[in-house]
Structure 1
Amino acid sequence: MYFAALLARTDDGWEASDTELDNVETLTDLADLARDRSVDDDTVLALIEQEDSWFAIVRVDGEDDPRVYVSDAAAASRSSYGAMLVDELTGRDEDDGELDSLDLDGTEDGEPEDDGDDSDGDADGPVRHGPLGDDALLADLGVSGKELQALDGDALSTIADVLGCTDVLEAVR
């Protein structure tokens, strides 16, 4: 099960809206969805979380390229939305067949075979455990890269606390 929300910065603070990612197949789709919620081309944060396994933040500032951070690349690569972001960050080929076994809700159809290898990878190489992407994407908003990397559990609530928008985020949970 995943949670996804968009936080759009406005002159009056942050506005949150939960969002369905059913029609999102690429980072470009997600960035376009975020831009649609933007007020005056201001910052929009797409927040994605799968249980307490991993979280991702996609920051869109106007027409600039989106900036992406994923808390645990290996865990995220096992869900369709996480894999989309990891593939974008690593340049992995999305058509390698690995996504075929994933449902759109981010869960796998069946249990993967355990071959004793802890790396999650394909012919293009393993996806490493740990953070991936731009850990400084929230630095100007009060969350340093080091702080972002240290987050676990309910990371999105911690981020919302720092941004001063806990109530608006919790209202869409």
Structure 2
Amino acid sequence: MYFAALLARTEDGWEASDTELDDVETLSDLADLAREASPDEDTVLVLIEQEDSWFGVVRIDGEEDPRIYVSDAAAAARSSYGEILLTDELLGRDPDDDVLDALDLDGTEDGEDEDDDEDEDEGSGGATSGGSAEAVPHGPVGDAGILDDLGVTEKELKALSDDALTEIADALGASAVLETVR
């Protein structure tokens, strides 16, 4: 079971809103959704969790690039919502490598026989497709200092587990507003 909420910091404190991620396909879409929650360009946190598996925090400060923390990248990679957060940059991948994979070039574009190409694939052991799955580490990835200035240290963030979003909201003084949308 998933839960996702937006926490927007305003001059009156934190405001929470339940958010639907079904129409969100990219990190850019998620950042736009978060920015809409705060017309004054205040800090907005997107909190996402999959029960007993992983949680993620995306921080948007005005027009700055989103900052991301994911508690368990391997678990998040098996989730459609987690895949939104696990960008090439976050995982330390070269985005150009994925472009060639996405094109599905099999060597026949230049007039080569498909049979010759299949022999090459067998010899490679599928390193191209297997390499990307292996690049997703078990454990946390991203900016563990994402909430330092809001009262949750890197060490505290990495130590959170089962009820992480509630503990984050408690530290921010936003637990009551988060519970209204839970």
Shift of 1:94: 8.9
Q: Which residue of 2 aligns with 1:36?
A: 36
Compare CA radii of gyration and give the structure with the larger one: 2
* Amino acid of the structure 1 residue aligned with 2:70: V
| TM-score under structure 1 length normalisation | 0.81
* Amino acid of the structure 1 residue aligned with 2:154: G
SS state at 1:123 partner: helix
* Deviation per residue, 1:70-122 (Å, 9 max, x gap): 0000000000110221234224649968xxxxxxxxxxxxxxxxxxxxxxx83
| Structure 2 residue 34 is matched with structure 1 residue 26 | no
> Which stretch has the larger CA shift, 86-95 or 7-16?
86-95
More helix by share: 2
Shift of 1:17: 0.2
SS state at 2:20 partner: coil
Change (3 A) 1:170 1:64: same
Shift of 1:136: 0.4
Q: Structure 1: any 5+ residue segments left out of the alignment?
A: 98-120
Q: Which residue of 1 aligns with 2:5?
A: 5
Q: Which residue of 1 aligns with 2:137?
A: 128
Q: Which residue of 1 aligns with 2:174?
A: 165
* Amino acid of the structure 1 residue aligned with 2:81: Y
Q: Which residue of 2 aligns with 1:48?
A: 48
| TM-score under structure 2 length normalisation | 0.77
Percent identity reads 67
SS state at 2:46 partner: strand
* Deviation per residue, 1:134-167 (Å, 9 max, x gap): 0001000000111100100000000000000101
SS state at 2:29 partner: helix
* Amino acid of the structure 2 residue aligned with 1:161: D
> Which stretch has the larger CA shift, 139-148 or 122-131?
122-131
* Amino acid of the structure 2 residue aligned with 1:124: S
Change (3 A) 1:87 1:122: farther
Q: Structure 2: any 5+ residue segments left out of the alignment?
A: 103-128
SS state at 1:158 partner: helix
Q: Which residue of 1 aligns with 2:86?
A: 86
More strand by share: 1
| Structure 2 residue 158 is matched with structure 1 residue 149 | yes
Once residues 36 and 9 of structure 2 are traced to their aligned partners in structure 1, the CA distance between those partners, rounded to angstroms, is 13
Once residues 159 and 135 of structure 1 are traced to their aligned partners in structure 2, the CA distance between those partners, rounded to angstroms, is 13
Once residues 132 and 56 of structure 2 are traced to their aligned partners in structure 1, the CA distance between those partners, rounded to angstroms, is 22
Q: Which residue of 2 aligns with 1:73?
A: 73
